[in-house]
Amino acid sequence: MRGEMFTAGEGSMSQKLLFVCLGNICRSPAAEGITNYLLQSSGHEGDILCDSAGTAAYHIGSPPDRRMQQVAQRYGLELHGRARQIHPLDLREFDLILAMDRQNYRDILSLDPQRKYAEKVRLICSYCRSHTDEEVPDPYYGGEAGFHYVIELLWDACSGLLESLIPGIQCPPLPSRT
């Protein structure tokens, strides 16, 4: 199922993606910001709508982690939004729900005991083109290098994701750090 194509439901104007991690302050806002940047840079802004959420309620209302924002800015990325917790209605509203790790994946599926929306839930790393990681590591308790690695890994995964969703898209390479 690695990098499998996914298309929005019939009649959809735009595809809607939800990126999910534990607290919605590091990995998922970074994935949202990277994907929005890639869409804008490749002339596809508005073709796909992105949002992010956390499986836990630890940081509801908080902006993205300061350290993740600082590292993202070094690559020319802006991270926006406020942390929120995933809600069962998100499973219906979004076309694709992208978990950062296996625990997030299981927590998302637990919101859908009848497995009505299970086919929408994927691990983001299944879209990586060059990295072999199966999960995005949580940089929260680590140092700056972990935040850089998450940006690099997510850039690869989000580029692969968009290539699977938008035929012929040309995603730019990861910018050099400043």
Catalytic positions, please?
21, 27, 138
Quickly list H helices, the chain.
Answer: 27-41, 66-74, 88-93, 102-109, 144-165
The 10 Å Cβ neighbour count of residue 4 is 10
DSSP code string of 89-117: HHHHH-SEEEESSHHHHHHHHTT-TT-SS
The answer to whether 150 and 26 have CB atoms below 8 angstroms apart is: yes
Please give the backbone phi and psi of residue 118, each rounded to the nearest 5 degrees, phi first: -55, -35
| CA neighbor of 4 nearest in space, from 168, 132, 164, 171 | 164
Residue 7: C-alpha distances to residues 4, 10, 34, 165 (Å): 10, 9, 20, 7
